[in-house]
Structure 1
Amino acid sequence: MADNYSNLLNPELSISCPFILTLTLVVEDQVKTHSEANLKYMDLEKKSKTSYAKWFPSVEKEAKEWGELRQRLGSGQSSVVSYFLNITAFCKDNNETALEVEQDILNSFRKNGFELISPRFNHMRNFLTCLPFMAGKGLFKQLKEAGVVQRAESFNVANLMPLVADNPLTPAGLLAPTYRNQLAFIDIFFRGMNNTNYNMAVCGTSGAGKTGLIQPLIRSVLDSGGFAVVFDMGDGYKSLCENMGGVYLDGETLRFNPFANITDIDQSAERVRDQLSVMASPNGNLDEVHEGLLLQAVRASWLAKENRARIDDVVDFLKNASDSEQYAESPTIRSRLDEMIVLLDQYTANGTYGQYFNSDEPSLRDDAKMVVLELGGLEDRPSLLVAVMFSLIIYIENRMYRTPRNLKKLNVIDEGWRLLDFKNHKVGEFIEKGYRTARRHTGAYITITQNIVDFDSDKASSAARAAWGNSSYKIILKQSAKEFAKYNQLYPDQFLPLQRDMIGKFGAAKDQWFSSFLLQVENHSSWHRLFVDPLSRAMYSSDGPDFEFVQQKRKEGLSIHEAVWQLAWKKSGPEMASLEAWLEEHEKYRSVA
């Protein structure tokens, strides 16, 4: 029934105004209907064996149907029901508008084979039928006399019940109405969705509305007292960060120390070893012997200087070991030591990237509620980007573990197809472990890419596949038509035909003023739209001209709030004016009250 008043594939075949859909039914007397079925069957059976059947071939089919019906009626499996299906729509008191709404309703039901009849001079009668207990007071008799009451089996009538089965998802959260205009809320930390974790994977092309969808989720976490860390490439979260009083850091200014915040080397040695291993070989070419030697160097460096230890100390230990008599007759071990010395030299104090990893005061502090890390400046240095990303992931995981478990924690990795392009299997394993254990600490990872292929294909990195496989929430927005068609050819079982058609019809957020997306939570799938007010649209916008407009206004001396306000008026002037008028009107009523 829901497809009649709101067609998923053809939104124009929907009822666009408030309406009441009612089904009034009466179960007829079983004995009488059984006798009627017997008489009908016997009459049609006799006709089907005469020349009458040659002129009316359908008589044999009718005889068979009545024969089956009388058997079901006789055994009590079914009943005959008289019913009246009625739709009452509420629109503007305008003849032209009323005619348009009437045609919308007729066309919407006609698509599925229902021919409705518009009442003439009987609107009050039909409206009264919508009210509870009114049909029994003589109205149903009038409906029968008017010839608008139909008859069918109970099973068929049950399928006409005006039930809306869209799942509201959670009691509160981000408002995302379903495609059938039912209220639904998204809260990734809600415990009643049968989800195994709170992680989310999001994929959609440029302009699909990814940042506009994720930024409200970030705000909800911050409003609850939690913290959020965003890895970005392209300044898409800069306005939100400034609005929320967060800390915005450029990748060029990031400073780390692998030995910072360590209190127990026995618990942290392997983590530091893994970090240095990825820094030394982003492609994962170190073997177990390399890592064993590196672990010795990490422990020795920390025991000597504790938190003041640097990568230089690790390299010095490796050099001393290479020159020691212990390995004098082990050329293979010495070769491995020399390899790690060369690989880690670029991260020493005087090395190419030494300034990033030997700081006395690391850039990331635990007191910031929102941190946005812009990593676009490191993209042309892939080795450094991998080292920085892995260091950041370790920092996030440690902060999640050290904070109270009832505190909501969120890590957003935007442009994940670039930031998670690790060849090192160790990174994928680390991410998989982090994504699985974050739930215990009320933590969530949101990973965003441009294309589903970046997550779920043979071309995807092990880290990206780990992020996809360990995300209970999956959001599919508008996809590149060509890439999505190719993906469906390679993986035909991933989406149902209806889902493919629906995703293919998704439009760009800036063109239709809302985001369309498919939400999958484990085995549950639902279709949603996200509508955002003009002020939030301006703040969440990652469009190039919008970003430049805000930056120009900031240079002119305006605050971030004033700059976003002016952008909202520039992009959505009439909408802002109507909202201000509505606000003034309701403020007036409030003051009077």
Structure 2
Amino acid sequence: MSLFEKYFQAHIGPINSIPTNSWKNLFENNKISDFIPYTSYDDSTELFHNNDDSVSFAIELLSPHTRSGNDTAGTMIEIFEKMPEHAYLSVMYYGSKNIKHLLSSYRNSHKERGKESVDGKEVDDSIDMICDFILKKTEEPCSTQMQTSIKDIRVVFSVVFPINKDPQEIKKFKSDMFNILNANKMNPKTLDKHDILELSFELMNPQVPIDNYPFYDDKKFLNQQVVSKNTKFVVDDDYININDTKCWVNSTLQSISDKAHIFEFGLKLGDYLSDSLNSNQFNDSFLINATIKRKPKKSASKTVKTHSFINTQDWGPIFRKFEAKKKESLEIIDRIQEKKETLFEYDLDVLVSGKDFKETLLNQQTIESYWKKTNDGLTKLKLEKTKGIHHLAFLSALPMAMNNEYFYNIGGKFRTLFSSQAAHLFPLEADSKGDGHNLLLTTRRGVLAGVDLYSSSTNFNAFLVATSGAGKSVLLNMLAYNSYARGDKVFVLDYDNSFTGLVENLDGQYLDLDPTFNAISFNPYTDIKNEDELNDELPYLSSFIYLLGSSKSLRRAEEDEKLITNTLQQVIKEQFAQFGNELEITNIRDAIFKDYGQDDRRFSDFSRQLDIYCQGGIYEKWFSGRCQFSMDKDMMAVEFKGVENHPELRDPLVMLLLYHIGKVMYSTDTNKPRIQIIFDEAHRFLGKNPRMDDFIEQAYRRARKFNGSIILATQGFSDIYDSDGGLSRAGKTIIDNSAWKFFMNQQETSTNLLLNSGIFSFNEIDKKIIRKIRTQKREYSEIFCINSSNVKMSLRLLMPTFFYYLTTTDGADKKLINSYMTNNNLTKIEAIKKIIEDQENG
């Protein structure tokens, strides 16, 4: 007996003509759970046994294709060809608010700092505030401009066998489908009773917090656990309402063009290309359910007869449309009889939700309007709101809930298509959810995505290009903060005090490099303990000394480099043997001049060039005496704007900073922490000095070996791409040794240079996205990301109000925070939280 027949009395009449009031009575007099099919699950076969005598299984795609194309459609055609005649295959595409798995991983990993000390509690509290902000955005627009909410996308394949005729047939098709999906890199996962309970419970009980979802009870039928006893299901001709919390409206395809392509169908799942992309989105939870079934052989024969009859008619040239119809009929007959193509029956439901009917209707109209847009010449898809079957469309869209009654009798909306047509009408693409969870971002469609530079299997480095005002400082501050919160050491090379707010609020270490005051020694020899350690560092140190004393003429510097650096290495070893870690540049200069400079002008000129860094020179305090630099705290920023106009001091100091940070990375501690190095405004160094480029190259190459990650930020692609039409030496090193590449808003000339360079394999869609990267101040910054697996993602970094106050350098904001702390006896984090509460309450 079928699922619905159990609850219909004879006087109700045909199932496809039951009025809404009768459905209301039906749902009032029976449990909603009775209309959900699955009752039990067989762990050995991974099959569900249902209350309408059907058998089913479900497979979720953990890695759907990020862009649908011919390969995606080909995957579906492969599956269609394996389908038994009586089986239903449905693809449920669900925009879910359940982001607890990614958020829990983020929260747990970023509580490390709080475990280390009492002071870390403020960091813990701030992590909770970030999580609260993300959760809040699942229930409201991400920002004023970005009207969609944060969501997760779940793509679930359900297969239902209405009559369990052949267990081996079911087993074989399940295996075939899983293998096809796996071979096409979609990372399939078979869903069990726990998965189905959580997914169905979420859909049926929107009023229940995620943390209160039930655990599976093996003493109850599965469908009896799917609906909370307090859930109220209200049916209307124009909508359904669940517990006065969630309203759903269903639409279906009114017309399908022969030119429909899966790429366009993918675009309809959320706009990521047009100028109006913020408006062309599903703004709340949504369900798209596409179902296909082989057309029975008898019905297929009738189709051939019908089209054969059409071709016997002769209406003459007057009716041109009929002539076109005859031509189409001939093609259909040829595909069935000669090419032996199989016909399928296809149906589509698009369910849109909102908090109430008014909001839901507005959301539905937005999607209906967007779907019929042509999108730069691509074929439109026309939706039409259904009448009186919203509740049934919703129930049949649940995993493994499709049945004969809905498909044929109640809905009756199916269309007859060939597999090559139907394959282009399935929702199969979804934005990448990223790699790891150190940074939480969203896609343009609002999908929550995580980024962790340390998730790479090659290296942990990154390269960032962003013009002024693109949001670069916000992104780098967020990276620094999250890395620090999870227990990493963070070192920032800052320019113009972009990180002072963050460092102050985290009680970090801040060092301002300024030749006019507070000079401290960076002597690199102080921390060298023995000759073995010296030998390890000798190539780096000799290159550093050569930078200081080499000719300003690039030609001559290159000519002399090999001779002088080889000599330097010998001199450094001799002087270290004499002075140990009390060695200074002054000692090296004197030895060079004494032993070589009197007979060779190259060495005499070289030693004189070192004078300004030696005792008695204008920069002696930075290089003489014992090293005074130390990274005492896990968060440190060094401001180098003060030495911007002194390149002869700036470059050596930056190199020595990298050297000393390297010593932290290269420590022999077997439990050495991750260290995140942020090199901001690097365009001020790149390409200016070949020796400086060499040092950056060495730092990039060595970082991975010692658990370090370097992200280098510049303002334009031209900073690493030279005028001869290729990557500069430093640029090649940076690109080759950066598993991650980030591109934010750039000047048009920089964008053109990037896209025309041929260095990255951008397709036309990628190029269009990059050209449309934008920043909405105080709302979000956009980032085009290429991850370590060469997956391309268009991401957005939302700006939590909390984080704005945490990193602000604005005097008025800092004064406000201090007043809240003083007047209310609050910590800094508590003060920021109170400020936000007061602002939200007006």
The answer, yes or no, to whether TM exceeds 0.5 is: yes
Q: In 2 relative to 1, CA 122–163 (structure 1 residues): closer, same or farther, beyond 3 Å?
A: same
In the alignment, which residue of structure 1 is the partner of 2:730? 463
In the alignment, which residue of structure 2 is the partner of 1:197? 459
Q: For residues 442-461 of structure 1, what are the structure 2 equivalents within 5 Å?
A: 442-458=707-723
Contact 1:311 1:347 in 2 (8 A): yes
Taking the aligned partners of 1:30 and 1:72, their CA distance within structure 2 comes to 16
Q: For residues 372-387 of structure 1, what are the structure 2 equivalents within 5 Å?
A: 372-387=637-652
In the alignment, which residue of structure 2 is the partner of 1:84? 347
Percent of aligned pairs sharing the same letter: 21
Deviation per residue, 1:216-238 (Å, 9 max, x gap): 32233223332111101111111
Cα deviation for residue 473 of structure 1 reads 0.5
Contact 2:463 2:711 in 1 (8 A): yes
One-letter code aligned to 1:506: I
What's the secondary structure of 2:741's corresponding residue? strand
TM normalised by structure 1 equals 0.84
Aligned residues: 552
1:416 equivalent to 2:650? Answer no
Deviation per residue, 1:372-393 (Å, 9 max, x gap): 0000011101121111111122
Q: In 2 relative to 1, CA 494–48 (structure 1 residues): closer, same or farther, beyond 3 Å?
A: farther
The answer to which structure, 1 or 2, has the higher relative contact order (CA under 8 A, 6+ apart) is 1
One-letter code aligned to 2:542: R
Deviation per residue, 1:35-61 (Å, 9 max, x gap): 345435644665699768867442464
One-letter code aligned to 1:484: T
One-letter code aligned to 2:574: A
TM normalised by structure 2 equals 0.60
Contact 1:203 1:475 in 2 (8 A): yes
Cα deviation for residue 313 of structure 1 reads 0.5
Cα deviation for residue 28 of structure 1 reads 1.3
Cα deviation for residue 8 of structure 1 reads 0.6
Q: In 2 relative to 1, CA 553–421 (structure 1 residues): closer, same or farther, beyond 3 Å?
A: farther
Q: For residues 231-270 of structure 1, what are the structure 2 equivalents within 5 Å?
A: 231-252=493-514, 253-262=519-528, 263-264=530-531, 265-270=534-539
Contact 1:230 1:413 in 2 (8 A): yes
In the alignment, which residue of structure 2 is the partner of 1:108? 370
Contact 1:237 1:372 in 2 (8 A): yes
In the alignment, which residue of structure 1 is the partner of 2:490? 228
Cα deviation for residue 448 of structure 1 reads 0.9
One-letter code aligned to 2:418: E
In the alignment, which of 464, 471, 474 is matched to residue 212 of structure 1? 474
1:343 equivalent to 2:617? Answer no
What's the secondary structure of 2:767's corresponding residue? helix
Contact 1:553 1:563 in 2 (8 A): no
In the alignment, which residue of structure 1 is the partner of 2:104? none
Q: In 2 relative to 1, CA 288–564 (structure 1 residues): closer, same or farther, beyond 3 Å?
A: same
Cα deviation for residue 2 of structure 1 reads 3.3
In the alignment, which residue of structure 1 is the partner of 2:802? 535
Taking the aligned partners of 1:47 and 1:203, their CA distance within structure 2 comes to 66
Q: In 2 relative to 1, CA 37–429 (structure 1 residues): closer, same or farther, beyond 3 Å?
A: farther
Q: Is the deviation greater in 292-301 or in 158-167?
A: 158-167
Deviation per residue, 1:90-120 (Å, 9 max, x gap): 213253x343212111012112511111123
In the alignment, which of 281, 288, 310 is matched to residue 14 of structure 1? 281
In the alignment, which residue of structure 2 is the partner of 1:312? 586
Q: In 2 relative to 1, CA 55–230 (structure 1 residues): closer, same or farther, beyond 3 Å?
A: closer
Taking the aligned partners of 1:130 and 1:210, their CA distance within structure 2 comes to 43
In the alignment, which residue of structure 2 is the partner of 1:369? 634
Taking the aligned partners of 1:270 and 1:386, their CA distance within structure 2 comes to 18
Taking the aligned partners of 1:476 and 1:456, their CA distance within structure 2 comes to 15
Q: In 2 relative to 1, CA 548–49 (structure 1 residues): closer, same or farther, beyond 3 Å?
A: same
In the alignment, which residue of structure 2 is the partner of 1:591? none
Q: In 2 relative to 1, CA 554–534 (structure 1 residues): closer, same or farther, beyond 3 Å?
A: closer
Contact 1:255 1:358 in 2 (8 A): yes
In the alignment, which residue of structure 2 is the partner of 1:356? 622
Contact 2:371 2:383 in 1 (8 A): yes
Q: In 2 relative to 1, CA 309–132 (structure 1 residues): closer, same or farther, beyond 3 Å?
A: closer
Cα deviation for residue 503 of structure 1 reads 2.4
What's the secondary structure of 1:39's corresponding residue? helix
Contact 1:53 1:59 in 2 (8 A): no
Q: Is the deviation greater in 255-264 or in 118-127?
A: 118-127
What's the secondary structure of 1:307's corresponding residue? helix
One-letter code aligned to 2:463: A
Q: In 2 relative to 1, CA 224–480 (structure 1 residues): closer, same or farther, beyond 3 Å?
A: same
Q: In 2 relative to 1, CA 319–552 (structure 1 residues): closer, same or farther, beyond 3 Å?
A: farther
Q: In 2 relative to 1, CA 39–388 (structure 1 residues): closer, same or farther, beyond 3 Å?
A: same
1:294 equivalent to 2:568? Answer yes
Cα deviation for residue 358 of structure 1 reads 1.0
One-letter code aligned to 1:16: N
Q: In 2 relative to 1, CA 390–406 (structure 1 residues): closer, same or farther, beyond 3 Å?
A: closer
Contact 2:510 2:636 in 1 (8 A): yes
In structure 1, stretches of 5+ residues that fail to align are 328-333, 579-593
Deviation per residue, 1:429-476 (Å, 9 max, x gap): 443343233223221101111122223444875334422331111111
In the alignment, which residue of structure 2 is the partner of 1:583? none
What's the secondary structure of 1:25's corresponding residue? strand
One-letter code aligned to 1:302: F
